[in-house]
Chains A and B, each alone.
Chain A
């Protein structure tokens, strides 16, 4: 009798601990919703499309932060994804020694704190962008003269800070993450399938493109979403190099801000309605990253489900 009482207690205690995670997630939503209520009451859905952010006039709009967040994330993904996929395919095909050395290196790189990336970005990447990359893009290639899309890509005025730099630093940061996940996912392809492809005369590229990637496609999507989620919510690395301008960005050279950077930057000094607006931004970020995480997890789960070990 006593034995089962202890067992019961232990089980319920464990259940309580496990349910904490669910409570925490609910808590995030409740806390952000409650604290941002004021802003939703005053601005309603116009908060989402207004471009004004003027704490003095008490006018707040989320659009500049949203655009900044999405565009840096997009740039990061465009740069990091092809590199990560190519690197992962290289690692899967490499000899065991190279694979384990580079594999561990990638795991370690993913462990470097993001503030280090931010600091490096501020003191090294920003001057480099200003002196080399941006003059090259704007003056040598003149990409701002490309019809239609050109004016969103660049402008004649630049100072090293901005969306492009933020996207670049994010790309460097999420590359090891995505690469590690893709490597794990690609490794799950049964060797038999790949060997069969080589057997009928496929080259490595063809085996990878037509056999391994289609087999692992759900896991790859999952990995992409995990990287996307990281880029979306990353604060410090972006904060240092984005320029922190609460205005609508005109092109990739414009100084801008992201949701996370705005919160980190303005929250300590904010009060009243501005604080509420920052909580509302937080709620937006939570909703976005939750959506992406749910997509990521369901794809990754689908990818591992048929492994059947």
Chain B
């Protein structure tokens, strides 16, 4: 009797472990299938011209993605410039000034909630906030949209990173007569700078593939991104969307896969690079 019961318990345990392993393998396989498909299909369209020529309407020779790549870089960097300084300051407020705990808690909560905001709504928001008043789609509007997505992420990582700085450092700095401001900027932020840079770069990687907020803000154009402030600016995610959904032509799909490969590699490279370069030395766990 006792032995039989043990047998069933062990069997259940083995089935469960098998299922767990299966789940991990299934997830890993799904991902490998997707990534390898992007690599296999996308690599066919890679050539020097693909990176040097701007995108052109279907049928024109020597079409590429150079304009979209440049536009994407401009939009993403613009977003980083707009979002980082206020977001870091906001993080500093959450981490360093604790005189209004309720307000701080409410703001932290808002930041957490904002991190889960559907990105298409950010597009709508920026459309009414920037595109309608200024009268035209622009790369800048795209940057604002991505900045809004970045803001809470950078804010929360800044707070977490500053929270890890030991109190003794702050006390020592204040004790030798530094002001609060100098202590925060020169001592606390400085000792947490690796973490801060990691957080900002990871947020940047996250928004660089965002598509939905750019659909109604940056739009797309088959031209070089000359009008960042005043006109539709080409960018990679919208190029991929346009080429794969709004075009019946095989050649466009192929170019779309090439662009998909480029953006995947860029996002993953930024991610892995950041993690390796700015890895905090952790205690063995």
Q: How many residues of A contact B (CB 8 A)?
A: 87
Whether B244 and A113, one on each chain, are in contact in the complex, defined by CB atoms closer than 8 angstroms, is no
Does A123 sit at the interface, judged by CB under 8 A? Answer: yes
User: Contacting A116 at CB < 8 Å: which of B87, B124, B129, B263?
Assistant: B263
A32-61 Cβ-contact flags toward B at 8 Å (1 or 0): 100100000000000000000000000000
Whether A113 and B181, one on each chain, are in contact in the complex, defined by CB atoms closer than 8 angstroms, is no
A62-100 Cβ-contact flags toward B at 8 Å (1 or 0): 000000000000000000001110110111000010000
Of A149-157, A158-166, A224-232, the segment with at least 4 beta carbons within 8 Å of chain B is A224-232
- Size class of the B contact interface (CB-based, 8 Å): 35 or more
Report A102-139 residues with CB < 8 Å from chain B CB. Answer: 102, 104-109, 111-120, 122-124
User: Contacting B23 at CB < 8 Å: which of A22, A83, A112?
Assistant: A83
Whether A119 and B240, one on each chain, are in contact in the complex, defined by CB atoms closer than 8 angstroms, is yes
Does B97 sit at the interface, judged by CB under 8 A? Answer: yes
Does A253 sit at the interface, judged by CB under 8 A? Answer: no
User: Contacting A279 at CB < 8 Å: which of B9, B86, B124, B212?
Assistant: B124
Provide the bound-state CA to CA distance between A82 and B24, in Å: 11
Whether B151 and A20, one on each chain, are in contact in the complex, defined by CB atoms closer than 8 angstroms, is yes
Does A294 sit at the interface, judged by CB under 8 A? Answer: yes
Residue among B13, B20, B86, B211 having the largest count of chain A Cβ atoms under 10 Å: B20
User: Contacting A233 at CB < 8 Å: which of B19, B22, B90, B120?
Assistant: B120
Determine the main DSSP class of B at the interface with A: helix
Whether B209 and A18, one on each chain, are in contact in the complex, defined by CB atoms closer than 8 angstroms, is no
**Pairs across A and B, CB under 8 Å, 8 listed:** A4-B179, A11-B93, A86-B23, A96-B285, A111-B206, A115-B260, A235-B118, A293-B116
Does B45 sit at the interface, judged by CB under 8 A? Answer: no
Query: With A13-B89, A14-B90, A90-B20 in contact, is A112–B181 under 8 Å at CB?
Result: no
Whether A233 and B119, one on each chain, are in contact in the complex, defined by CB atoms closer than 8 angstroms, is yes
User: Contacting B264 at CB < 8 Å: which of A19, A113, A279, A296?
Assistant: A113
B215-244 Cβ-contact flags toward A at 8 Å (1 or 0): 110000000000000000000010011001
Whether B28 and A113, one on each chain, are in contact in the complex, defined by CB atoms closer than 8 angstroms, is no
Report A2-41 residues with CB < 8 Å from chain B CB. Answer: 3-4, 6-7, 10-11, 13-15, 17-22, 24-25, 27-28, 31-32, 35
Binding site for B on A (CB under 8 A): 3-4, 6-7, 10-11, 13-15, 17-22, 24-25, 27-28, 31-32, 35, 82-84, 86-87, 89-91, 96, 102, 104-109, 111-120, 122-124, 172, 175-176, 179, 203-206, 208, 226, 229-230, 232-236, 239-240, 260, 263-264, 267-268, 278-279, 282, 285-286, 289-290, 292-294, 296-297
7 A-B pairs with the lowest CB-CB distances in the bound complex, closest first: A113-B209, A233-B118, A14-B93, A203-B13, A90-B20, A86-B23, A235-B212
Whether A25 and B114, one on each chain, are in contact in the complex, defined by CB atoms closer than 8 angstroms, is yes
Report B246-281 residues with CB < 8 Å from chain A CB. Answer: 253, 256-257, 260, 263-264, 267-268, 271-272, 275
Q: How near does chain B come to A2, taking the closest CB pair, in angstroms?
A: 10
Q: How near does chain B come to A289, taking the closest CB pair, in angstroms?
A: 6
Whether A119 and B257, one on each chain, are in contact in the complex, defined by CB atoms closer than 8 angstroms, is yes
Provide the bound-state CA to CA distance between A181 and B256, in Å: 32
User: Contacting B113 at CB < 8 Å: which of A86, A236, A297?
Assistant: A297
Provide the bound-state CA to CA distance between A233 and B120, in Å: 8
Whether A114 and B211, one on each chain, are in contact in the complex, defined by CB atoms closer than 8 angstroms, is yes
Q: How near does chain A come to B66, taking the closest CB pair, in angstroms?
A: 19
Residues of A within 8 A of B34 (CB): 112, 116-117, 120, 172
User: Contacting B17 at CB < 8 Å: which of A96, A119, A120, A204?
Assistant: A204
Whether B10 and A203, one on each chain, are in contact in the complex, defined by CB atoms closer than 8 angstroms, is yes
Whether B113 and A11, one on each chain, are in contact in the complex, defined by CB atoms closer than 8 angstroms, is no
Residues of A within 8 A of B86 (CB): 17, 20
Q: How near does chain A come to B160, taking the closest CB pair, in angstroms?
A: 12
